[in-house]
Amino acid sequence: MTDFTSVGTQFVQHYYTTFDSNRAALEPLYSDQSMLTFEEQQCLGRAQIIEKLKSLPFQTVKHQIVKCDCQPTVNNGVIVFVTGNLMVDQEQNPLKFAQVFHLAVNPNGQGYYCHNDLFRLNVG
Amino acid sequence: MTDFTSVGTQFVQHYYTTFDSNRAALEPLYSDQSMLTFEEQQCLGRAQIIEKLKSLPFQTVKHQIVKCDCQPTVNNGVIVFVTGNLMVDQEQNPLKFAQVFHLAVNPNGQGYYCHNDLFRLNVG
């Protein structure tokens, strides 16, 4: 059995390190079937998703993972649920965020891609 | 194509209404393969899950949904990501929570059950 916790935690560490240094480099982690819901806005496919992520209006960003829960799911996928803090530009107070990733096995059976991605700031 | 947003929002409205009135009645929404991660604690199968939910140490509880995002996923499933407020007993200040449900189609092809359930209070 796959160690789903390792798969999930390694994915999110790689994801946020890449996000915080070069968002365009996240493209290989998505497929043309991937979906992103970012604060209500829906994007379909890696091109739209990367366009959205690149358009976010901050210069510097740092994600800090507070909790990361993983579960195996259907078709050998992994669901990863992260809560954390987001440091943006010169802002002193971190924003709280929560994000869900559904990692699906690549069509060639090797490794995972992000099939579902849902992001929310915890406000309201 | 299934209207995944209706499926997800109707599920969570039913789920929280049931949770807030009679937690034991949530049992049919889970299967023997279902998983719950509740603040780090992992439960497998509907019996363990319901036991955990029934054991939660409050008398009255009310979930208020603030945001509910839905996405279709593999095998005609639906991922639902809820952020909201939790009113517990006489506590005046709501607790913020975030919860993820992965709804999978029942083996007979009719309706959905909750395959994955991950719950976090937004603290820390």
Q: Kindly tell me the sign of the dihedral angle through the C-alpha atoms of A109, A111, A115, A116.
A: positive
What DSSP string describes B13-27?
Answer: HHHHHHHHH-GGGGG
How far, in Å, CA of B112 to CA of B13, rounded? 14
Which of the residues A79, A97, A103, A113 would you substitute to probe the B interface, choosing the one with the greatest number of B C-beta atoms within 10 Å?
A: A79
Residues pairing with B82 in the sheet = B68, B99
| Interface probe with A: pick from B31, B67, B101, most Cβ of A within 10 Å | B67
Q: What is the predicted pLDDT for the residue at B4? A: 96
**How crowded is the C-beta side of B17, counted as CA atoms within 13 Å?**
6
Q: What is the ipTM of this complex?
A: 0.93
User: Quick one: what percent of chain B has pLDDT higher than 70?
Assistant: 97
Cα Rg, chain A, nearest whole Å: 14
**pLDDT at B114 (0 to 100):** 98
Closest CA to B113 of B27, B13, B44, B40: B27
| CATH code matching the domain that covers A4-121, chosen among 3.40.50.2020, 3.40.50.150, 3.10.450.50, 3.40.50.2000 | 3.10.450.50
Give the mean pLDDT of B95-121: 95
Task: List, for residues B89-102, the tens digit of each pLDDT value.
Answer: 988 899 999 999 99
Instruction: Report domain B4-118's class.
Output: alpha beta
Confidence at residue A123, expressed as pLDDT on a 0 to 100 scale: 59
CA distance A109 to A77: 11
CA distance B103 to chain A (A): 11
Give the residues of chain A that fall short of pLDDT 70.
1-2, 123-124
Identify the pLDDT of residue A124: 46
